[in-house]
């Protein structure tokens, strides 16, 4: 098996396991363990907290430990988490389900950071855009299918069968990773402490004008996106007058946008200079915000569905392009920490966006919250336009 093919198979299996676990957790907690909204909220928070708490130390470990070994450890952790979740459901132990949620999400965090850091050593720099697009396409497709599969299993068999299917995905991914070449171990010698290693990676991102622009754009965009998700249910069911089925159908357009964006990304990378894609991603989100603002006075379903589609399509193109830029400008010994720093910035701002969206909607109304979202999308676009990213006519040369 070719190295990239193995990594692609591992990506499909890992993201399938992660999305199945994400969809199965509330079903198991509610239908099997009888958990209420308060307990369910804690479980979901524990699952999402791993992205914020684990990313920085994981980035330092990735730069110290052979990356193939890190992938094996990450997938083994995900496989173990699925088994523990089934045991939690069988014994009725909610806290055990919470531990499984944290462990499984932590494995996904380590896998994602490691695979992004490993890819430049498996393919040439000219193939990075296409390879990143194929990896993101695998994630987008399983993200669409996993909730539906988990729901079917819960309805016809048992919610815990979702964890069994997640374990199968993790096992298949583990088999693909074992087919990867061992590669060279990171350079040995005197190493800084874990805290100092994290500081070095963070400082590199802050000082590098391209990485700094990518991070700031991602922070403003994710603030707006999570604020949108926080107010979507009251907006759809209240102001737009949609029923739950049409509300879900409109939001599913986001997944369709992700898939199309991943399919178009290699063509965009080949035919367009990078600055066009880097500006288009956040800029089209501003158009999406305008559609959401107009939805209460027009066809709420069509306008909101179009908005969700654009929020998936444009930013997916941006994500693939900026990931390639990040991989090219980051020295190999810093790859894990740089990716972890950007990831932490993204997931650190998401809770703030959700809180801000809900607070503004409660205090000033849904239209005011939508205006806040639009402003944040505009700021994410301005960051790119005013930085060297907005003038990038070719991909940068690879770092030493």
pLDDT digits (tens, 9 = 90+) for 235-255: 887 888 888 777 778 878 888
Residue that is written with structure tokens 């400082």 in the block: 203
Residues of the chain within CATH 1.20.1250.20 domain(s) are 3-183, 197-391
Q: Cβ contacts of residue 216 below 8 Å, gap of 6+?
A: 380, 383, 387
pLDDT of residue 108: 87
**Residue 211 CB burial class (10 angstroms; 0-12, 13-18, ≥19):** buried
Q: How far is CA 250 from CA 257, 290, 296, 303, 365, in A?
A: 12, 16, 14, 9, 22
Q: CA angle, 87 as apex, 152 and 99 as ends, to 5°?
A: 95
pLDDT of residue 373: 93
Q: What CATH number was assigned to the domain covering residues 3-183?
A: 1.20.1250.20
pLDDT of residue 274: 93
- Report pTM: 0.81
Average pLDDT along the chain, 400 residues, taken 10 residues at a time: 85 85 75 68 70 84 87 89 84 81 86 88 84 86 76 77 85 87 60 82 90 93 87 83 78 86 90 93 95 89 93 92 90 88 82 82 88 95 94 77
pLDDT of residue 398: 62
pLDDT of residue 371: 94
pLDDT of residue 158: 78
Superfamily name and number for 197-391: MFS general substrate transporter like domains (1.20.1250.20)
pLDDT of residue 35: 67
pLDDT of residue 273: 93
pLDDT of residue 317: 94
pLDDT of residue 316: 93
pLDDT of residue 1: 67
pLDDT of residue 380: 95
C-alpha dihedral sign at 163, 165, 170, 171? positive
State the Cα–Cα distance between residues 137 and 123, nearest whole angstrom. 17
pLDDT of residue 139: 83
C-alpha dihedral sign at 216, 220, 226, 230? positive
């Amino acid at each position: 098996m070719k190295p990239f093919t193995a990594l692609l198979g591992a990506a499909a299996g890992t993201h399938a396991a992660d999305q199945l676990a994400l969809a199965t957790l509330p079903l198991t907690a509610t239908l099997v363990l009888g958990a209420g909204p308060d307990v369910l909220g804690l479980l979901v928070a524990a699952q999402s907290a791993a992205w914020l708490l684990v990313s920085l130390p994981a980035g330092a470990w990735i730069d110290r430990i052979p990356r193939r070994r890190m992938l094996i450890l990450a997938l083994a952790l995900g496989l173990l988490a699925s088994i523990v979740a089934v045991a939690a459901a069988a014994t009725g132990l909610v806290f055990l389900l919470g531990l499984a949620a944290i462990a499984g999400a932590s494995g996904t965090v380590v896998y994602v950071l490691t695979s992004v850091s490993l890819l430049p050593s498996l393919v040439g720099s000219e193939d990075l855009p296409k390879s990143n697009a194929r990896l993101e396409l695998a994630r987008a497709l399983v993200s669409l299918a996993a909730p539906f599969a988990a729901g079917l299993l819960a309805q016809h068999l048992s919610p815990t069968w979702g964890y069994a299917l997640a374990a199968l995905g993790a096992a298949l991914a583990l088999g693909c990773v074992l087919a990867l070449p061992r590669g060279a171990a990171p350079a040995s010698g005197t190493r800084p402490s874990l805290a100092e290693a994290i500081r070095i990676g963070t400082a590199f991102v802050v000082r590098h004008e391209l990485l700094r622009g990518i991070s700031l754009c991602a922070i403003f965009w994710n603030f707006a996106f999570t604020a949108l998700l926080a107010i979507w249910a009251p907006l759809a069911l209240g102001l737009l007058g949609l029923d739950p089925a049409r509300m879900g159908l409109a939001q599913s357009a986001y997944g369709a946008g992700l898939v199309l964006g991943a399919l178009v990304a290699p063509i965009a990378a080949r035919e367009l200079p990078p600055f066009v894609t880097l500006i288009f991603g956040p800029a089209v989100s501003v158009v999406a915000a305008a559609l959401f603002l107009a939805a209460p006075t027009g066809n709420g379903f069509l306008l909101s569905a179009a908005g969700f589609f654009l929020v998936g399509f444009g930013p997916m193109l941006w994500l693939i392009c900026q990931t390639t830029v990040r991989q090219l400008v980051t020295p190999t010994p810093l790859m894990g920490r740089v990716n972890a720093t950007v990831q932490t910035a993204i997931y650190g701002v998401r809770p703030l966006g959700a809180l801000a969206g809900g607070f503004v909607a409660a205090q000033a109304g849904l239209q005011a919250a939508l205006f806040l979202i639009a402003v944040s999308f505009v700021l994410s676009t301005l960051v790119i336009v005013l930085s060297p990213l907005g003038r990038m006519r070719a991909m940068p040369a690879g770092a030493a």
